[in-house]
Structure 1
Amino acid sequence: MARRPKQPDPPTGAAHLVGLVRSVVPPLNPAGRPFVLVPAVLAVLGRRSPALRRTATVAALACAAFFREPARVAPQRPGLVVAPADGVVALQDTAVPPAELGLGSAPVPRVSVFLSVLDVHVQRSPVGGTVSRVVHTPGTFLSADLPAASTDNERTCVLLRTDDGQEVGVVQIAGLIARRIVCHLAEGDRTERGATYGLIRFGSRVDTYLPVGSRVLVDVGQRMVGAETVLAELP
């Protein structure tokens, strides 16, 4: 009779505690490390000043929470578009895409997700495919939940082409407090549905422009889970 392979012993002690923490506490996006490290160092150096230590500790924990990047599993059925960010649907309408996307001047379906300072702030690719265009446009810093923010605010537009030729635009929009957009994609890159591709610091909005004929599956006020909530079905 063949012997069953011996199963490894479960971790104990410190290893078990570390594994438990990793399973509960989301990892930190690399872009947030300086924002966490600086107040953490101040908390250590200010151990003789309780007020400084408390303030720096709170700041470090707040930044760690803001820049968290929880693991997500995107649905794999072909033709789906997933939410590019956590937050609440602020707009679900048709609109002319920003000229930078190169999608023409006719209105197309648009879904806007507003991110509060409490939401996860990394952005996820709504579809898998090839990056056709990446354009950063300077602008104002209106409140991100206003309709005019789509055209007036500072933004970074990314055009994605799926393997079957569908084009989906996703736009990171800076908000009233957010002043820094980070995008890791470049023209010609390949990306997978649900993969993290950037973030916006401290409050923002993300617009998704869909091909005409797409079936939008969300409505205003609905809460999104980036990479996991199905936003729409492509034609």
Structure 2
Amino acid sequence: MEEDTILYYNGKQFLLTNSIQELIGIINVPYRKEEMIENTSISKRWYWKKGALAYWYSEDDGGIRFFKSKEDYENVDISATEYSSEKEMIRAQGMYDSLYVKEYPEKVLSTFYIWDELGFNISTRGTSDTIARICIFPLPMRAIRSPFSKNKPNSQPKAIAAEKKDYEDYTRSLPKGAFKGKITYNGNTCDFSQLKATDWDKMVKQLGLEGAYYDDPGDSKQWSRRNRSYEVHITFNRMTNEGSIDYRSPDEVGSIDFVEKIIISK
């Protein structure tokens, strides 16, 4: 099956290789910009003259892995002795002879350009000007997502804080509104302003995404729809809030069986 992979916005052609500034000019609607930042991090390694070594493997929970020798460290069949702190490790193994510390500065992982009223965002990697991904949200995901919960069994405070940051970062990247425009794919057009939150099957039919050709790889073949072009990847991610912990319940926001997001990437 031959697929049309030429992209248009309001009749104007663009490429995923275009700069974000070119596409901003084509869209010509106000947007906001959010940067996803990786905080400063530190890598630590401890060494003993007797050959032992240890490394800090998780900044989130302070975990340290200790090996009696370099050979043990390189042997995947040998498990490390784990300590929750440097103080605990020194009590058990004695004072180390040398310490290596490297600090990694704060860096921008990705930049999001968000059109709240139009219901989509465009991301670039780091501070690059090249488009990495376009995400279209036919539902108001900010209102549908479950609030962040701190009630996570067996999680350390730092791990919970890191998860909370990820949750807040992703929320910032989401448009405040939903996409209510039209999408045309391979000559088939779907008007999302005319669809309800339970119209997944209707959307699939209108865009001609039925059949095994558009099945998602893996075990859940019928769950999402995707094209097979190597030039432009398009994925229609399905979602439901029935029994979900990620989304608000049907009692709160009504039943949902629809598109979570449409992802367009190179």
Q: TM-score band (shorter)?
A: under 0.3
TM superposition score normalised by structure 2: 0.23
Larger Rg: 2
TM superposition score normalised by structure 1: 0.26
